[in-house]
Amino acid sequence: MKYRFLILLSLFFIDPVAADVCATGDLGVVIEREPGNVLIINTTQHKQLGKIEKLGDLSHASVVFSRDQRYAYVFGRDGGLTKIDLLTDSVAKRILQAGNSIGGAISQDGKLIAVSNYTPGGVKIFSAESLEQIADIPAVYDDGKLSKVIGLVDAPGQRFVFSLFDAGEIWLLDMRTPAAPALQKFKNIGKQPYDALITPDGRFYIAGLFGESGLALLDLWSPESGVKKILPAYGQHDEKLPVYKMPHLEGWAIAGDYAFIPAVGRHEVLVITTDTWKLVKAIPVAGQPVFVMARPDGRQIWVNFAFPDNQQLQIIDAKDLTIENTLKPGKAVLHMEFTPRGEEVWVSLRDDNQVVIYDTATLAEVKRLPAQTPSGIFFSARAHKIGL
């Protein structure tokens, strides 16, 4: 590994083409789930620039970017935390920080990386520069049990927010003084929070609940008011449909005054107002929604689905809250990522071994790129967005 890195470095310095000045604002990465590889891609040229191989178990891997957009931090399922240099196509640092890991976040100032773990349940904080451990926050509940941690996001004020799946708690971690992490716990927030998000302004943290209806809402402008339940009664007494893949709340689909979220156990996308958190409409869709993502201008909401409806994509028109179009891109649509201003979207097709790029205005296919069992797609524009 070290040799390869040295060889790459020497190529980089010798080869005059590779040594050309290069920027990173239109770069991104695609996770190859089964082989555990990361593809480095360019969103302007629609092409693959490099491949970092064998980073362990990258099922459910997610990525954050350094604020200079040079480095991608990849959070692997097996606890691997890898810092990839997008300019040299190489691994800058790599550690194994836990046994079973689910996601991560980067701090407001870009200096801290937080990772949420299933085993051992908790959050660890690392230096973004060196990946040296700075803090360990075990998710202890009920006199010593450790909970799986989900829904970890960054929040303004050098804070991180996350939820405890087994304990039904939300924790707010203040890292302004790295040597003395300050923790505020909110208990009894609801059963089995399965994922969470933060609004793009960093104000509201919302955890979806699997074990009961509704969502848990924390207003970070007034945490002293505690966590409140929103949509508590929706679908409370209805039989739930089976969920073959957990929905994700990553990103926050917002358009005007509305937020769009996946229902759980119902084939619906819920539209709620962001001032009073009341349900406006439940839009029937093709299956159990997994990702519900707004195009950056908020005009379209793109939705993909759990097995067995995962060959489809539906596009909601945010103007009249109806399904504008249904696409069938291919087998096992896992993830989508919009270009920074939303003229195109990249979609991963796990079982077709392809990434397909669409023009979001015409819905015409722009290109298909080969990728081995692609899952997550992440563009470097995330570097400058709260909660991503």
Partner 1 sequence: MKIFILSAMLSSAVAAPPPEPARQQALRNLLKHDCGACHGLTLKGGLGPGLRPADLADKSNEFLTATILRGRPGTAMPPWNRFIDKSEAAWLVEILKNPQP
In 3D space, the residue among 201, 235, 240 whose CA is nearest the CA of residue 221 turns out to be: 201
19-78: contacts with partner 1 (CB under 8 A): 33-34, 57, 59-60, 77-78
Q: Contact between 266 and partner 1 (CB under 8 A)? A: no
Q: Contact between 210 and partner 1 (CB under 8 A)? A: yes
- Report d(CA 195, CA 114) in Å as an integer: 16
E strand or H helix at 6: helix 2-14
Q: Is 91 left (phi over 0), alpha (psi -120 to 50) or beta?
A: beta
16 vs 308 by CB, closer to partner 1: 308
Site string for partner 1, 78-117 (x = CB under 8 A): x---------------------x-x---------------
Cis check for the bond before 308: say yes or no (omega within 30 of 0).
yes
Residue 254: exposure state from Cβ atoms within 10 A (0-12, 13-18, ≥19): middle
Q: In the chain, what are the helix, strand and coil shares in percent, each to the nearest 5?
A: 5, 50, 45
Q: Contact between 255 and partner 1 (CB under 8 A)? A: no
Q: Are 196 and 249 in contact (CB under 8 A)?
A: yes
55 vs 315 by CB, closer to partner 1: 55
Residue with tokens 């299933």: 118
Minimum distance of partner 1 from residue 304's CB (angstroms): 13
Q: Contact between 246 and partner 1 (CB under 8 A)? A: yes
Minimum distance of partner 1 from residue 100's CB (angstroms): 7
50 vs 80 by CB, closer to partner 1: 80
299-328: contacts with partner 1 (CB under 8 A): 307-308
Minimum distance of partner 1 from residue 57's CB (angstroms): 5
Task: Using CB under 8 A, list all residues that contact partner 1.
Answer: 33-34, 57, 59-60, 77-78, 100, 102, 118-119, 148, 150, 165, 192, 194, 210, 242-246, 307-308, 332, 350-351, 373
